[in-house]
Amino acid sequence: MNDWTLPPRPLSIAHRGAQAYAPGNTLSASEKAHTLGADMWEVDIRCSRDGIVIAHHDAELADGTAVRDMDYADILSRTRAACAPCPTLDDVAALAAQSGTGIYADIKDLDAVLPALAILRRHGIDRAILGAFAPEAAAMLKQAECPYPRSALVPLQADPFVHAAGAGVIHLCWERLERPQDTLTPDFFRRAFDAGQRVVLWHEEDPARMAAIRGKPVLGICSDRPEMVNPFTPPDGRPLRIVCHRGANGIAPENTLPALECALAAGFAMAETDLRVTACGTIVAIHDATLDRTTDGTGRVDAHSLTELRLHDAGGWFDPFFNNVRIPTLDEVLALAVKYDGGLYLELKDAAPGQVWAAVQAAGLEQRCFFWSFDMDLLRALRQDSAAARIMVRREDHPSLDVALATLAPAIIEFRPDADAAEVAALRDGPVASMIAYMGRDGDVFDRIVDMRPDMVNLDQPFAFVRHLDGKTFQPMACER
């Protein structure tokens, strides 16, 4: 990683791994960051009392005991008990080498500088940046003939060109500013480039600020949500939109705000969620009619008030990291779509269509939502309430495509992956969009879906689908006709 040519897009540097979805600096956070497409994992590095180089941010454990006063075995035991097992840098580097991910080392202890360098070299890590807040670290790495770029992490109030004078990478840790993006002036970049330096930015999780900085001439951007750095854009020649079934349900518990937010933060067009009504008439997002599978509660959803439902944990069943995540309301889901300028596929389980449509209208999302239900009476009621509501109709529920198109004036026809490709093609460039639904991850099926060129694809494994697309070359559709 000694080529100073800026990448075509900023490197997605997962801050302590995907720490929005797993405890920071754990192998779980690193694995999720890889799934989310991170180019590098930012890893905080310290030394235990017995000289083991570990991935841990704070100088102390939660009970106040200093990390450097403990042997690694004790650190591991205590952090494992807290469901955030502290890995060694060897563990992280081995996983990075296996997955082809780079390492961005934030070295907290100076006595870990040279051992960290040796570990990365031993594991054959090709892509790495080594840095620290302490300027002495860059000097130590230079003296050791470090083959990787050296970074200086610049705190607030410090002059970046003084603080990072001995480093090749200026890493601005200015996320606590109200508008840190305003610091990224043309003059700032000119000074950095004239000195042969490149710039890495603070960890950013706000979608508006991320949009403002991802187009700057930076080497990389850190984020607790690495999927935000370079959101999905369809490949050339295949302008399909991705819908995420129950949100990013492999990253966070299905139909919860973390899962829905991950899907929208990743740049996918829509998140799908299921709507039910509570005993008090509030509409909530949950798939099953009962609480038993996806919460720590029991009984029917419609037998509980919203207040009662809020007492139940809807995340711990998936991973202890999501303990105390609650069942979201429709209004919360709609607010999330507004925040990310995204869309929603709303499946009506037993929610009143008129109430749902009124909430969608109030959020201004009429054109960014579509609806479906197994209960055709609910869809008929929705169409009766509004001629503008975008309703989906499944091709498999009707004897012919013509019949499907004549049912409820649909905006979308959903097909299965084994559908007749000619029927999908018949909708191309017309007023009704085509969508293929596939809940698996078979690469051959992904290829068939792409070859059918639908307008949309509803997936249970959206990140696997995107990885499958990477590296493929597609001819523009106009050239294929």
* Token code pair at residue 6: 């800026």
- From the list 15, 163, 203, 245, the catalytic residue is 245
The reply to whether 57 belongs to the active site is: no
Q: Alpha-carbon distance 375 to 382, whole Å?
A: 11
Q: Alpha-carbon distance 185 to 179, whole Å?
A: 12
**From the centroid of its chain, how far is CA 255?**
15
- In the chain, what are the helix, strand and coil shares in percent, each to the nearest 5? 35, 20, 45
| Beta-sheet strands, E only, within 376-429 | 392-394, 412-415
Q: Alpha-carbon distance 346 to 7, whole Å?
A: 38
Q: Alpha-carbon distance 370 to 342, whole Å?
A: 12
How many CB atoms within 10 Å of residue 146?
Answer: 19
Residues 6+ apart with CB under 8 A from 299: 290, 291, 292
Pairing of strands 53-55, 40-47: antiparallel
Q: Alpha-carbon distance 395 to 402, whole Å?
A: 9
Beta-bridge partners for 435: 414, 456
Residue type present at position 88: T
Q: Alpha-carbon distance 68 to 48, whole Å?
A: 5
What element of type H or E holds 211?
Answer: helix 207-213
Q: Alpha-carbon distance 430 to 108, whole Å?
A: 58
* Token code pair at residue 353: 């269509």
DSSP single-letter state for residue 60 = B
Taking alpha carbons only, the member of 18, 456, 466 closest to residue 262 is 18
The reply to whether 245 belongs to the active site is: yes
Q: Alpha-carbon distance 273 to 81, whole Å?
A: 34
Concatenated DSSP letters for 434-470?
A: EEEEE-S--HHHHHHHHHH--SEEEES-HHHHHHHHT
Return the residue matching tokens 């919860």.
256
- From the list 287, 312, 398, 468, the catalytic residue is 287
Q: CB burial class (10 A; 0-12, 13-18, 19+) of residue 100?
A: exposed
Pairing of strands 270-277, 283-285: antiparallel
Dihedral sign from CA coordinates of 156, 266, 33, 120? negative
Which residues are known to be catalytic? 245, 287
